[in-house]
Structure 1
Amino acid sequence: MTHHTGPWTEVDLLAIDLEGSGPQDPAGEAILEIALVPIRHGAPDLDRAFSSLINPERKITRGLWTSPGITNAVLEHAPTFDEVAPKIIELVAGAWLVGHNVRVDWRLLNKALPAAEPVGLVDTLRLAKHRRPELKKGHGLQAWVERLDLTDTITQAAQSSQPHRALWDAVATATVLEAFMRDQSANDADFDALLTIAGLDLDGNPHPTKPADQQSLWDSF
């Protein structure tokens, strides 16, 4: 994976969240909703964000994992995946996808749309576990939103959405990343330092570990 010097805020980052029919779907997991939120100067850029429900062109069986408000009646009037694919390809091209457990979202998107070509992945779940390694659980996105007292900020930014829906969760991911990075030293706010901790290639492999003698303030949150 290529090294990138310079502040993380100057890199083309794109927060992603997908809502699907679940891996239990006997017909194969379908993407039911997608949100892509550019991160500009370290903050979510809602003016350039894209989010949409997606009509799977078949009935889905609702389960405990199904996101609130996503029903067959609602999906029937949504665009199909083929209709939104060009916009997804446009936004993803050349960007670093940022997600909470981003491998799950990327695996589903890559399977449905191989033509979408990001540069790599940044996983805020890996970042969270690095920042608070003593926490053996409670690293879910919602848990971190509450821990960092970000609920009102995210709800105000994503007014048309709600928790566990694609736009809200993508904005939450971008906002959590900003909160994690806000108080870092100049060295630790370098994008390559972020990749060392939270970066993945498109096969899901971690970024190469930084040299052992490189000092870091990441361990004190």
Structure 2
Amino acid sequence: MNFATWPALLVVDVEGNGANPPDLVEVAALPVRDGRPDTNTAGWWLTRPNRPVTPFATRVHGLTNTALASMPAWTDVADQVRAVLGTKWMCAHNAHTDYRVLSAHLPGWEPAGVLDTLRLAKATFPGLGTYNLDTLIEHVRPDLHQAPGHRHRATFDAFATAQLLLAMASHYDTWDDLVAAAVPPGLPGAPEPERDPTLW
């Protein structure tokens, strides 16, 4: 895989307050450049949700209402997030979720395309059984010694997802091959099905 052929790409992870639909409490956007995650230019935001963080959500990511009370509201950081995301490609694990939540919080935002490392892992490692982030980390064993934070925090999960993406990309010859395996149907960047030339 020639990483120089990749378009601008951000690996994204979001954490919510546990409500349905969720309020965002953390967003990480990690650029991938030249086959490496670029932590020097990554975007990271903590926000105070409109509704309290549920006890279940706190048990997952560790973010409490007390810790978030002094953070800016989403409306105060939304323009910053939108500017960082721009129209770049985004990648996330189980990307439908991150794309749906970000789209709801950023009306009119549209990435060039959406790579899903969950979908990619199923194509790359058939028969693995489960494809959650922990299983893939155990299977691939990416280098996470520079990952910021801890598991289930947006910064750590974005870094881990970036390393998994890069490891799996080595199984594909071209960017187009990667896109064909990693972009879920119906999301931006999905390859258009070939038209039957006999139809007119």
Amino acid at match of 2:67: V
Distance 1:9 1:104 in 2: 27
Q: How high is the sequence identity, in percent, across the aligned residues?
A: 32
Is the aligned partner of 1:158 residue 2:142? no
191, 194, 210: which one aligns with 2:175: 191
Task: Measure the CA separation in 2 of the matches of 1:146 and 1:78.
Answer: 34
Q: Please tell me the residue identity of whatever aligns with 2:164.
A: V
| Partner of residue 171, structure 1 | 159
- Choose which of 140, 148, 158 in structure 1 pairs with 2:140: 148
Could you give the per-residue CA deviations for residues 58-98 of structure 1, whole angstroms, max 9, x where no partner exists?
42221167533200001102121112212211121121110
Give the secondary-structure state (helix, strand or coil) at the position aligned to 1:107: helix
Quick check: which one's helix share is greater? 2
* TM-score normalised according to structure 2 size: 0.86
Q: Distance in 2 between matches of 1:71 and 1:191?
A: 40
What are the equivalent positions in structure 2 for 1:43-122 lying under 5 Å apart? 43-63=36-56, 66-122=59-115
1:9: how far off?
Answer: 5.0
Task: Give the unaligned 5+ runs of structure 1.
Answer: 1-5, 211-221
Is contact 1:121-1:202 (8 Å) kept? no
Q: Extract structure 1 runs of 4+ deviating beyond 6 A.
A: none
8 Å CA contact 2:82–2:109 kept in 1: the answer is yes
TM-score, normalized by length of structure 1? Answer: 0.79
Would you say how many aligned residue pairs link Structure 1 and Structure 2? 194
Which residue matches 1:15?
11
Letter in 2 for 1:171: F
Distance 1:83 1:9 in 2: 35
The residue that corresponds to 1:213 in the other structure is: none
- Rounded to whole Å, the distance in 2 between the matches of 1:202 and 1:94 is 17
For each residue in 1:152-203, what CA deviation from the matched residue of structure 2 results, as whole angstroms up to 9, or x when unmatched?
Answer: x22x3223x1001100000111100111123x4xxx3311111111124664
Query: Which stretch of the first structure deviates more once superposed, 192-201 or 40-49?
Result: 192-201
| Runs of at least 5 residues in structure 2 that lack an aligned partner in the other structure | 195-200
The aligned amino acid for 1:132 is F
AA aligned opposite 2:182: A
